[in-house]
């Protein structure tokens, strides 16, 4: 009986197959068609969901083995296989939409808000999903060993969090409309919150998790408002329809849309940008990312280096046609990216915690990617995302291995000579190769190829100052990267005594459960080298980083992938046909190879001088600088330019004070003074008049007589008074 | 099945609980609320007006025919949903009180059941007097619940709750009575039939009359919502009420205010509404930010959640006064969502309170170490309250904001009188919500474990018992369901919403013009 | 009856005179009631006020050539007589409880 109507209401899937009635292929890039037969793409989302649920079940049923890890690795690995299969099977020339189910679908009269839950499969989606699921699988494998001391509920929680992350990231990248993207956007934010706060007994971890979520929410508000405006102006949130509208009448369509819509349309790219800057840790929102290193290192590698933080770049490449809605939008992105790159690099130079160095370097490299989008090179941006994902993952994972082996020790002033220690070979040399990539070592490093594209495009786009900043940052990057490697891996060979002294005071960065540790206490005094899973993952990702060299160069696979997507407008946008006799300096793509190599090598040379050949020179230099008038700058760099303090003083504290003030206002003025005051009014009137009730008969009589007289007077005098007043008026 | 059952079952069981032996009171109350739930589900499944704007379940029951008073009932789709919300939350409240209430059990459950009858009466009433009687009658059981089983400051909390909301609704009565009197004057006979009065008032009352009638109705409904600045009874009442009281208060009683706005203010006095929209929108927006900032500095968990209601209901009112379908549908969905997620949060806090007898965040923290299941639910409902997409809160908040955002005078189809700035300022509430809710979880769920010794007499396990999990799980599933598949529900709201808004597309431009003229006159 | 012969001696007295007398009597009664404490005197004062009202009623009745004023007078006198019996009985009862005639002793209904 209950079945009939109510169930149909609750289950109202209605017309699930959401109509998409266009088959128009535009000049720039193909517009999506709905398709049959690719429904299994939904598995990419379903598998992490299954892993998540299973991890929850394991947690409840008290599984105390590595089962959660293997489940997660299996699910994510299968998801990767599905993505690979999709890549091979799907025709990347023609984006397709795979409808899954109806999510939000409202219509009234002529208006509608429609956000079907569908997958938008084009080359950009596949590119992103390939490295997201691939790295996700590998890092989950790495974590199976890294987190092994936490086997139990916490282990389930960790892999549950990783699964949620992959699910949300899948929604973000594969969703076919902006609302699904927003769903994933907040979802990865939550996963990041859970995983940063993994060591929940540590107040600093809880604070970092909170900070990450809140700072991201600020950007998210921008994104949400951008989505509202997009819906208001374009009437749809689905990419295929949006792109069709923006491209319908040729390249100028976006500009025309902007003209027609006024400032409310022109502001859309800036709002989307705010979301991107939040998620990708750019100025002014970057402050959450360094703190996010409180999370376990695999999380830092996966979420806060390789995948989630590139969501902002993805968003801007995905909505690249909308960037043209305002002429200042792209330059803004470029400048914010450039400024962040430089700022973060300067902070990274002055940090001693190697994981923090890597965190700032991530912020800085993300700055490059935004610079790439801003100078209209979506190819450069995507290429750098792709290469960076691999080598930065390796860097974090090696840091993690060191941290794991040395009981939480991350100080580059303490660690040394790892090269000479048995069992660390793979860590040392994969780290070396990844450092080469980050530093942009010529030819053999993947970072060199992708970074060069961005720098060259900056010059080709007519932004030499920005290009100059990029080059300077490249030099600084090379310096701080090798500062870490030389300090940690080189130097005199440590003996057992030295190694014991290097140990941190923390077991695996977390010591909140102490059962079963008593007997292996003696292990704490000596570092332990990584085992097979860590070494395997490091080797595989390093190989992938090497392999990515083949995919990245111009006119290669990656450029093709981007050119077939919504980022097509940013492939070859700055390309001008040069006359045959143009000089060497006319084509930035030509000379950048040499200049960037030189700058990178210079940075490495300085690092080698200060930290390899002459290991005390750096300290002497620091002492000299601190004695010089540059003292303030050095101090500021070491203290991260006091940005956190500034935000705290300018935003957080005033808000907190406002909160307290409003609370006081609410309690004392509104409630006690006004409300209770009004409530007390009748009581007060009663109090004032109560002496009249004195029980004496005569006074009652007197007041009665007085009342009668008063009434009589009113009746007699009032009309006269009114007459008088009326007469006067 | 007659909707009368929905009121009679709780009422009659209230009587039987009151006189039943002490031991069976809980069982009788549980069975009664579950039966009511089943009846409401059956009625809902037979309800014939899910997809049109008509009223179903029309039942006539005469009371005082000479003055037009009756117990007539009817319901449209939004009312049906709110009926379902109430019948779903009531078993949760009753079962949730099993261990918390140990004295005067019979009275307690009797009052809860009376409360249920009164709430359902509000949503089902077709006659204005019936509506008003039910609306006011919710105060009585709630008053006794707070005063009888509340916290240390329960006396003043219950009195303030009663007097504050009662004062407001006296003015509402005056306004509604005026409408009825004018109707009697015009048609020659007394009638309190809501559809008839609505049709009459929206057309035949002058602009001035509509304005004042609207103000009178607002006085009662805004206090109930509660809209800033008439919200100060809420934190006190919530903090002092027993857990089940807080759940009903947040879950259903606040919705009586927004339901009143939807059912009476919007359709009855459209001319008055268009004059007041900017002011009400501003108050709602201020309420969002104001409530959120106050939440952020609370030490008492329950107070924090109470103030969060002020903030959340601001979104709800903003959506209502956006005067477009997205805003209104979002707002009605918000009523349901807020009932589920905030109700669950109060329930969760109550569970901790039963164990540790404190709600002070300085004394409680890191509970995940001891209560992982509780913590998982807590984080889940915090996310739902945070409007994280994929859960229920998101859809409604998104629609309310987009409704306010698109409510500009130059909107072709649904012109409105709010606009982007209202949405932007209310949108900062999204950030502030993250701040206070994560502050709450950061202190209560995460961090180093700290708690006073657990109460050994409570008879409860350290983590949640299966009874408690059984209460929270359905709510959680509903939150997921409404977050993933809101369209079915939304589609049922659409016709009623459009009926409610029918007058506005023509009225708003007129109002905009007259405002422009006024500005010109003042400027010149 | 319309042109009833009005005795000469009354003709010189206008309605106003009666009303002034009534007002005086009422004022004396009120003043006495408010100022004196003796319950019996207070009771006498109320009687005085009654008589003031009675005189006014009779005068109005004569003035309007209407008997209802005098009917009222008879009613008032009857009730006043009954009341006197009741009130004096009460006074006696009160006197038995506390041997004084002071009205202020009986002020139990005052505000605390």
CB contact under 8 A, B423 and A225: yes
Q: What percent of chain B has pLDDT over 70?
A: 100
Q: Look at A229 and C3; give whichever has higher pLDDT.
A: A229
pLDDT tens, position by position, A528-542: 888 888 888 889 999
d(CA A229, CA A267): 9
Q: What value does the mean pLDDT take over residues A495-520?
A: 58
Comparing CA positions, the residue from A304, A293, A306, A307 lying closest to residue A208 is A293
For residues A612 and A486, the answer to whether their CB atoms sit within 8 Å is: yes
Comparing CA positions, the residue from B79, B363, B318 lying closest to residue B194 is B79
Q: Which among B45, B366, B406 is the nearest to A232, CB-wise?
A: B406
Residues of A with Cβ-Cβ distance to C37 under 8 angstroms: 698
Q: Choose the weakest-confidence range: A17-26, B294-303, B312-321, B395-404.
A: A17-26
- pLDDT surpasses 80 at A573: no
pLDDT score, position B93: 94
CB contact under 8 A, A695 and C110: yes
User: How crowded is residue B299: how many other Cβ atoms within 10 Å of its Cβ?
Assistant: 12
Q: Choose the weakest-confidence range: A577-581, A666-670, B53-57, B361-365.
A: A577-581
SS3 state of residue B450: strand
d(CA B441, CA B367): 10
d(CA A138, CA A144): 10
Start-to-end Cα distance in chain A: 77
Chain A CA closest to residue C35: A698
What does the DSSP assignment read for A208-273? HHHHHHHHHHHHHHHHHHHHHHHHHHHS--BHHHHHHHHHTTSTTHHHHHHHHHTHHHHTHHHHHH
pLDDT tens, position by position, B235-273: 999 999 999 999 999 999 999 999 999 999 999 999 999
CA–CA–CA angle A384, A388, A390 (5° rounding) = 135
For residues B59 and B127, the answer to whether their CB atoms sit within 8 Å is: no
Judged by a CB distance cut-off of 8 A, whether residue A688 touches chain C is no
Query: Does the residue B234 lie in any domain?
Result: no
Residues of A with Cβ-Cβ distance to C35 under 8 angstroms: 698
Q: Look at A656 and A691; give whichever has higher pLDDT.
A: A656
Mean of pLDDT over chain A: 83
Q: What value does the mean pLDDT take over residues B410-437?
A: 89
Q: Which among A690, A691, A698 is the nearest to C34, CB-wise?
A: A698
pLDDT score, position A623: 82
Judged by a CB distance cut-off of 8 A, whether residue B31 touches chain A is no
Confidence of residue A678 (pLDDT cuts 50, 70, 90): confident
The subunits that touch chain C, with at least 3 C-beta pairs less than 8 Å apart, are A
Comparing CA positions, the residue from B142, B95, B153 lying closest to residue B119 is B142
pLDDT score, position A256: 63
pLDDT score, position C5: 57
Confidence of residue A116 (pLDDT cuts 50, 70, 90): confident
Q: Which of A683, A689, A701 to mutate to test the interface with C (most CBs of C within 10 A)?
A: A701
Residues of C with Cβ-Cβ distance to A694 under 8 angstroms: 107, 110-111
Q: Which residues contact B83 (CB under 8 A, 6 or more apart)?
A: B6, B40, B43, B44, B75, B120, B123, B124
Q: Choose the weakest-confidence range: A396-400, A523-527, B219-223, C39-43.
A: A523-527
SS3 state of residue A358: helix
Q: What value does the mean pLDDT take over residues A550-571?
A: 80
Strand order across the beta sheet in which A96-108 lies: A33-34, A96-108, A111-121
Query: Does the residue B401 lie in any domain?
Result: yes
pLDDT score, position A23: 35
The subunits that touch chain A, with at least 3 C-beta pairs less than 8 Å apart, are B, C
Q: Which residues contact A293 (CB under 8 A, 6 or more apart)?
A: A208, A300, A304, A353, A355, A356, A359
Which residues does C contribute to its contact with A (CB < 8 Å)? 30, 33-35, 37, 42, 103-104, 106-111
Residues of A with Cβ-Cβ distance to C109 under 8 angstroms: 693, 695
Q: Which among B42, B163, B399 is the nearest to A679, CB-wise?
A: B163
pLDDT tens, position by position, A352-374: 888 999 999 999 999 999 999 99
Note whether C touches A: 3 CB pairs or more under 8 A: yes
Among all chains, which residue has been given the structure tokens 């002793």?
C105
Angstrom CA distances, B24 to B10, B16, B17, B29, B216, stand at: 16, 10, 8, 8, 44
Query: Residue A632: enclosing H or E segment and its boundaries?
Result: helix A631-638
Comparing CA positions, the residue from B106, B128, B149 lying closest to residue B13 is B106
For residues A501 and A372, the answer to whether their CB atoms sit within 8 Å is: no
Question: A318 burial class (0-12, 13-18, 19+ CB within 10 angstroms)?
Answer: buried
Query: Does the residue B10 lie in any domain?
Result: no
SS3 state of residue A353: strand
Query: Does the residue B188 lie in any domain?
Result: no
Q: Which residues contact A21 (CB under 8 A, 6 or more apart)?
A: none
Mean of pLDDT over chain C: 85
pLDDT score, position C12: 64
Domain count, chain B: 1
Omega cis (within 30) before B112: no
Query: Residue B75: enclosing H or E segment and its boundaries?
Result: strand B73-75
Comparing CA positions, the residue from B180, B87, B172, B69 lying closest to residue B125 is B69
Q: Residue A101 forms beta bridges with which residues?
A: A117
pLDDT tens, position by position, A81-102: 999 988 888 766 778 888 888 8
Comparing CA positions, the residue from B286, B289, B284 lying closest to residue B432 is B289
Query: Does the residue B293 lie in any domain?
Result: yes
Query: Does the residue B191 lie in any domain?
Result: no
For residues A558 and A383, the answer to whether their CB atoms sit within 8 Å is: yes
Chain A CA closest to residue C32: A698
Q: What value does the mean pLDDT take over residues B401-420?
A: 87
Q: Which domains does chain C have, with CATH numbers?
A: 15-101 (1.10.287.3510)
| Alpha helix ranges (H) inside chain C | 8-11, 15-35, 39-63, 68-97
CB contact under 8 A, A693 and C111: yes
pLDDT tens, position by position, A186-245: 999 999 999 999 988 888 999 999 999 999 999 999 999 999 888 888 888 888 888 888
pLDDT score, position A412: 83
Confidence of residue B523 (pLDDT cuts 50, 70, 90): low
Q: Residue B389 forms beta bridges with which residues?
A: B391
Omega cis (within 30) before A21: no
Q: Which of A31-40, A491-500, B263-272 has the highest mean pLDDT?
A: B263-272
For residues B443 and B335, the answer to whether their CB atoms sit within 8 Å is: no
Query: Does the residue B442 lie in any domain?
Result: yes
Query: Does the residue B367 lie in any domain?
Result: yes
Judged by a CB distance cut-off of 8 A, whether residue A720 touches chain C is no
d(CA A389, CA A189): 19
Query: Residue B59: enclosing H or E segment and its boundaries?
Result: strand B56-59
Q: Which residues contact A392 (CB under 8 A, 6 or more apart)?
A: A301, A305, A306, A358, A361, A362, A365, A434, A438
pLDDT score, position C11: 56
Radius of gyration of chain B (CA): 22
Query: Which residue range is the domain that position B420 belongs to?
Result: 273-524
Q: What percent of chain A has pLDDT over 70?
A: 88
Q: What is the pTM of this model?
A: 0.87
SS3 state of residue A119: strand
For residues C48 and C25, the answer to whether their CB atoms sit within 8 Å is: yes
């Amino acid at each position: 009986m209950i079945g009939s109507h109510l169930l149909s209401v609750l289950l109202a899937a209605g017309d699930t197959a959401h109509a998409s009635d266009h088959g128009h292929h535009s000049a720039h890039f193909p517009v999506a068609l709905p398709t049959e037969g690719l429904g299994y793409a939904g598995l990419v989302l379903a598998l992490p969901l299954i892993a998540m649920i299973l991890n929850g079940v394991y947690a409840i049923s008290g599984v105390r083995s590595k089962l959660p890890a293997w489940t997660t690795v299996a699910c994510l690995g299968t998801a990767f296989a599905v993505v690979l299969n999709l890549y091979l099977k799907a025709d990347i020339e023609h984006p397709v939409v795979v409808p899954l189910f109806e999510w939000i679908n409202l219509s009234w009269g002529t208006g509608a808000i429609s956000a079907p839950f569908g997958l938008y499969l084009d080359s950009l989606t596949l590119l992103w999903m390939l490295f997201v699921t691939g790295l996700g699988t590998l890092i989950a494998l790495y974590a199976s060993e890294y987190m092994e001391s936490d086997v139990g509920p916490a282990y389930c929680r960790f892999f549950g969090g990783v699964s949620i992350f992959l699910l949300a990231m899948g929604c973000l990248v594969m969703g076919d409309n902006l609302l699904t993207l927003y769903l994933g956007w907040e979802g990865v934010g939550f996963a990041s919150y859970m995983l940063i706060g993994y060591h929940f007994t540590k107040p600093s971890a809880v604070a970092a998790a909170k900070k990450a979520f809140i700072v991201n929410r600020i950007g998210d508000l921008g994104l949400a408002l951008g989505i509202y405006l997009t819906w208001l102006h374009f009437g749809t949130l689905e990419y295929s329809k949006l792109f069709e509208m923006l491209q319908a009448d040729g390249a100028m369509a976006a500009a025309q849309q902007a003209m027609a819509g006024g400032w409310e349309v022109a502001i859309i790219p800036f709002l989307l940008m705010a979301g991107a800057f939040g998620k990708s840790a750019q100025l002014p929102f970057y402050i959450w990312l360094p703190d996010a290193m409180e999370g376990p290192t695999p999380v830092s590698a996966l979420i806060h280096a390789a995948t989630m933080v590139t969501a902002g770049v993805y968003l801007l490449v995905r909505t690249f046609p909308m960037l043209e809605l305002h002429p200042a939008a792209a330059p803004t992105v470029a400048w914010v990216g450039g400024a962040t790159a430089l700022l973060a690099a300067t902070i990274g130079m002055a940090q001693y915690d190697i994981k923090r160095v890597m965190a700032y370097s991530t912020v800085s490299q993300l700055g490059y990617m935004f610079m790439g989008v801003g100078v209209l090179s979506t190819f450069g941006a995507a290429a750098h995302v792709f290469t960076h994902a691999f080598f930065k993952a390796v860097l974090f994972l090696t840091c993690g291995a060191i941290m794991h082996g040395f009981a939480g020790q991350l100080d580059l002033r303490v660690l040394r000579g790892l090269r000479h220690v048995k069992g660390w070979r793979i860590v040392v040399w994969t780290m070396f190769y990844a450092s080469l990539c980050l530093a942009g070592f010529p030819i053999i490093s993947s970072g060199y190829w992708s970074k060069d594209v961005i720098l060259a495009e900056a010059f080709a786009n007519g932004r030499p100052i920005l290009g100059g900043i990029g080059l300077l940052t490249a030099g600084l990057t090379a310096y701080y990267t090798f500062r870490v490697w030389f300090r940690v891996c080189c130097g005199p060979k440590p003996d057992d005594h030295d190694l014991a002294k290097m140990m941190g005071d923390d077991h695996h960065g977390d010591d909140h459960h102490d059962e079963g540790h008593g007997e292996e206490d003696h292990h704490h005094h000596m570092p332990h080298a990584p085992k097979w899973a860590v070494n395997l993952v490091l080797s595989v990702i390093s190989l992938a980083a090497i392999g990515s060299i083949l995919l990245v160069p111009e006119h290669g696979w990656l450029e093709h992938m981007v050119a077939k997507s919504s980022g097509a407008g940013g492939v070859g946008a700055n390309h001008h046909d040069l006359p045959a006799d143009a000089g060497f300096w006319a084509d930035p793509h030509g000379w950048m190879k040499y200049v960037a190599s030189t700058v990178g090598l210079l940075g490495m040379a300085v690092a080698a001088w200060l930290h390899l050949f002459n290991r005390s020179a750096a300290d002497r230099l620091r002492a000299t600088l601190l004695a010089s008038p540059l003292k303030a700058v050095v101090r500021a760099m070491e203290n991260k330019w006091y940005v956190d303090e500034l935000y705290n003083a300018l935003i957080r504290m005033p808000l907190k004070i406002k909160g307290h003030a409003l609370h006081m206002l609410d309690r004392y003025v509104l409630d006690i003074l006004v409300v209770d005051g009004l409530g007390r009014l009748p009581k007060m009137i009663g109090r004032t008049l109560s002496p009249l009730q004195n029980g004496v008969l005569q006074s009652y009589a007197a007041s009665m007589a007085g009342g009668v007289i008063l009434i009589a007077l009113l009746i007699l005098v009032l009309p006269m008074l009114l007459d008088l007043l009326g007469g006067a008026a | 099945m007659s909707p009368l059952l929905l009121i009679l079952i709780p009422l009659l069981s209230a009587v039987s609980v009151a006189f039943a032996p002490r031991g069976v009171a809980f069982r009788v109350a549980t069975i009664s609320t579950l039966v009511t739930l089943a009846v409401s589900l059956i009625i809902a499944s037979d309800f014939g007006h899910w997809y049109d704007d008509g009223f179903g379940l029309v039942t006539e029951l005469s009371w005082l025919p000479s003055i037009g008073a009756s117990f007539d009932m009817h319901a449209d789709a939004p009312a049906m949903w709110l009926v379902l919300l109430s019948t779903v939350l009531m078993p949760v409240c009753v079962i949730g009180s099993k261990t918390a209430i140990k004295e005067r059990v019979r009275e307690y459950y009797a009052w809860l059941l009376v409360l249920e009858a009164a709430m359902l009466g509000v949503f089902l009433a077709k006659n204005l007097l019936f509506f008003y009687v039910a609306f006011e009658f919710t105060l009585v059981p709630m008053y006794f619940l707070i005063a009888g089983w509340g916290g240390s400051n329960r006396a003043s909390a219950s009195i303030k709750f009663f007097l504050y909301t009662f004062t407001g609704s006296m003015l509402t009565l005056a306004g509604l009575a005026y409408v009825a009197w004018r109707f009697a004057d015009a048609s020659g006979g007394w009638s309190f039939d809501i559809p008839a009065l609505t049709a009459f008032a929206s057309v035949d009352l002058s602009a001035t009359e509509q304005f004042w009638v609207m103000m009178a109705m607002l006085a009662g409904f805004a206090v109930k919502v509660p809209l800033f600045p008439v919200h100060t009874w809420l934190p006190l009442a919530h903090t002092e009420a027993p857990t089940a009281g807080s759940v009903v208060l947040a879950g259903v009683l606040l919705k009586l205010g927004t339901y009143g706005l939807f059912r009476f203010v919007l359709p009855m006095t459209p001319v008055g509404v268009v004059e007041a929209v900017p002011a009400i929108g501003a108050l709602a927006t201020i309420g969002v930010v104001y409530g959120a900032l106050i939440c952020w500095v609370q030490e008492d968990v329950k107070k924090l959640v109470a103030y969060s209601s002020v903030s959340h209901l601001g979104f709800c009112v903003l959506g209502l006064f956006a005067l477009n379908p997205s805003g209104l549908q979002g707002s009605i969905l918000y009523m349901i969502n807020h009932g589920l997620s905030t109700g669950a949060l109060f329930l969760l806090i109550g569970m901790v309170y039963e164990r540790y007898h404190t709600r002070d965040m300085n004394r409680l923290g890191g509970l995940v170490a001891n209560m992982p299941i509780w913590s998982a639910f807590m984080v889940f409902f915090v996310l739902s309250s945070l409007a994280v997409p994929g859960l229920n809160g998101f859809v409604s908040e998104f629609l309310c904001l987009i409704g306010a955002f698109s409510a500009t005078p130059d909107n072709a189809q649904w012109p409105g009188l709010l606009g982007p700035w209202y949405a932007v300022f209310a949108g900062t509430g999204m950030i502030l919500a993250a701040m206070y809710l994560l502050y709450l979880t950061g202190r209560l769920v995460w961090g180093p474990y700290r708690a006073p010794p657990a109460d050994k007499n409570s008879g409860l396990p350290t983590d949640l018992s299966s009874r408690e999990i059984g209460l929270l799980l359905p709510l959680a599933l509903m939150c997921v369901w409404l977050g993933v598949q809101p369209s079915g529900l939304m589609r049922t709201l659409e016709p009623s919403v459009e009926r409610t808004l029918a007058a506005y597309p023509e009225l708003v431009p007129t109002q905009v013009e007259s405002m422009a003229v006024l500005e010109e006159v003042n400027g010149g | 009856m319309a042109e009833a012969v009005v005795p000469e001696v009354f003709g010189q007295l206008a309605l106003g005179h009666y009303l002034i007398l009534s007002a005086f009597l009422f004022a004396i009664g009120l003043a006495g009631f408010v100022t004196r404490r003796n319950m019996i005197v207070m009771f006498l004062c109320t009687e005085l006020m009654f008589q003031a009202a009675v005189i006014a009623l009779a005068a109005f009745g004569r003035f309007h050539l209407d008997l209802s004023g005098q009917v009222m007078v008879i009613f008032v006198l009857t009730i006043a007589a009954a009341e006197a019996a009741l009130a004096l009985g009460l006074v006696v009862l009160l006197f038995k409880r506390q041997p004084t005639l002071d009205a202020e002793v009986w002020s139990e209904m005052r505000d605390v």
